[in-house]
Structure 1
Amino acid sequence: MPGIVVTGIPRAPLDLINEFARFGVATVHEAQGRSGLLGAEITPIQQGVRVAGTAVTATVAPGDNTMIGVAVEQCQEGDILVVAPTSPCDMGYFGDLLATSLMARGVRGLIIAAGVRDIADLRDMGFPVWSRHVSAEGTRKGALGDVNVPISIAGRIVRPGDVVLADDDGVVVVPRLDAAAVARASREREETEERARVRYLAGEIALDVNNMRPMLDTAGIRYVDYDSWKDGGER
């Protein structure tokens, strides 16, 4: 039966969470073994925003946003609210009033596999949202879901207390207990990319920067002179 609200969830240290905001979603996704990325159907309503925070999770009934209001009470500074309906629904679960309440508690954004509305107001307020739909159709109240339990959203399991990073490229989730190791791997990947960037700026190409030539040789790549190729000498 729904109606569980788990209180006092463990969170990663805020300074560690803040460090993730230095990295892009793509960097973190690659750094943790190409895992944790939410499906591409979850998209930002704004541009040029990157946020990192602790996941507070909620499930909501189709067409009913009661549990978002319940989840607000469990949120604190540095959190990101992650919401999934128990059955697919594109209605507008969330708008400027709920955003105002979350902002007052220091919440950094919303990830929702459903609809949001009041888009212009949310952008003007500077409250970041990544959603599956935009819809002016409002929801009712009275049906229960759960707060701070593991939820399935956009092809991934998100657990309360996980680290969430979101930007223009999408959303990636890092398990709380892996956060320090993934942050370290992300730093290392960023340093590697910076060294590669210097080489690209100097005129080198990916085949050499990424040492791809041995791999291509093993795969059997052949380079054929055009005149030979057009005359049928090589196929």
Structure 2
Amino acid sequence: MNDGVTNCEVTHDLARGHSSATLLEASKLGIALSPELRSLWAGARLCGPAFTVQGAGGDNLALHHAVLQAPPGSVLVADLGGARFGHWGEVLTVAAQHRRLAGLLIDGGARDAAEIEALGFPVFSRNDSILGTRKDFRGVFGRPVTVGGITVRTGDLVVGDGDGVVALPSAEADRILDRADARVAHERELMARVREGRSTLELYDLEGAGR
């Protein structure tokens, strides 16, 4: 099993297995990143504490430094201004897996999707691009960054899946996770009743709605 998958399994319990949609609904906060930030490959799941990176569009030197600075288990959360360049690819992925990082969330472009999928490393990006990058700006690390329209701080819990990406503020994470546990338990009860023949209109008290 490759290191990327192992890291995802190790950090999976940080989100208690909840989907991004469940966490958003449980939070009652504006924690959803722009839907334009999507998985580079189908089926990827991102989960772990953020390590923030402020880079420059079209320049990936900051990402090379971030791989060395981020603690194991971290998700790199990089603001590259949404630039359409291949800031991240196969070589950086192998380096990140060697450092046992949990994944990458980048407001910018990435490339080598097939190779990164084969490595099992979760990357969520705004776009994919083969355009090359310069290496001039060393980056700023550990400060708040704006990614997908949301401010993310180092230590925030980042969860991404097929539905999208959320960033749980570290101070609110336990409360949100507890609410998500309760929401999932309630939905299981509802689905059991649906299987017994009850209608969703009845269960959600919607029979008089829309009149």
CA distance in 1, matches of 2:14, 2:94: 26
| Structure 2 unaligned regions, length at least 5 | 1-9
C-alpha separation between the residues in 2 aligned to 1:63 and 1:51?
24
The two structures, once aligned, show a CA RMSD in angstroms of 1.8
Alignment counterpart, residue 26 of structure 1, candidates 21, 26, 34:
21
Structure 1 residue 72, shift from structure 2 partner: 1.2
* % same residue: 31
Tell me if 1:57 matches 2:52.
yes
Check if 1:197 corresponds to 2:191.
Answer: yes
Partner secondary structure for residue 123 of structure 1: helix
**Matched residue of 1:56: which SS?**
strand
Are the aligned partners of 1:61 and 1:144 in contact in 2 as well (CA < 8 Å)? no
Alignment of 1:153-164 (within 5 A): 153-164=147-158
* CA distance in 2: counterparts of 1:17 and 1:182, whole angstroms: 15
TM-score, length basis structure 2: 0.90
Q: Are residue 172 (structure 1) and residue 166 (structure 2) matched? A: yes
Moved over 3 A (4+): none
Q: Secondary structure at the match of 2:51?
A: strand
Secondary structure in 1 aligned to 2:35?
coil
Aligned residue in 1 for 2:124: 130
Residues 1:197 and 1:122: Cα distance change in structure 2 (over 3 Å): same
1:165 shift after superposition:
0.5
Structure 1 range deviating more: 158-167 or 205-214 = 205-214
Q: Which has the larger Rg?
A: 1
Can you list the C-alpha shifts for 1:132-159, whole angstroms capped at 9, x where unaligned?
1111111010124311110011110001
Gaps of 5+ in 1: 1-14, 222-235
Letter in 2 for 1:97: V
Equivalent residue number for residue 81 of structure 1: 76
Deviation at 1:78, TM superposition (A): 1.7
* TM-score (normalizing by structure 1): 0.81
Structure 1 contact 96–118 (Cα < 8 Å) conserved? yes
Judge conservation of contact 2:145–2:151 (CA < 8 Å) in 1.
Answer: yes
Task: Deviation per CA, 1:82-136: give whole Å up to 9, x if none.
Answer: 1111x44110000011111111121111111111111111011111111111111
Quick check: 2:71–2:101 contact (8 Å CA) kept in 1? Answer: yes
Any idea what SS the aligned residue of 2:171 has?
helix
Q: How does 1:93-172 map to 2 (within 5 A)?
A: 93-172=87-166
> 1: CA distance between counterparts of 2:56 and 2:38?
21
Which position in structure 2 is the counterpart of 1:67?
Answer: 62
Cα displacement (A) at 1:16: 8.3
Secondary structure of the structure 2 residue equivalent to 1:72: helix
Residue-pair matches, total:
203
- From the superposition, tell whether residues 178 and 16 of structure 1 become closer, same or farther in structure 2 (CA, over 3 Å): farther
Structure 1 residues 21, 103: closer, same or farther in 2, change over 3 A? farther
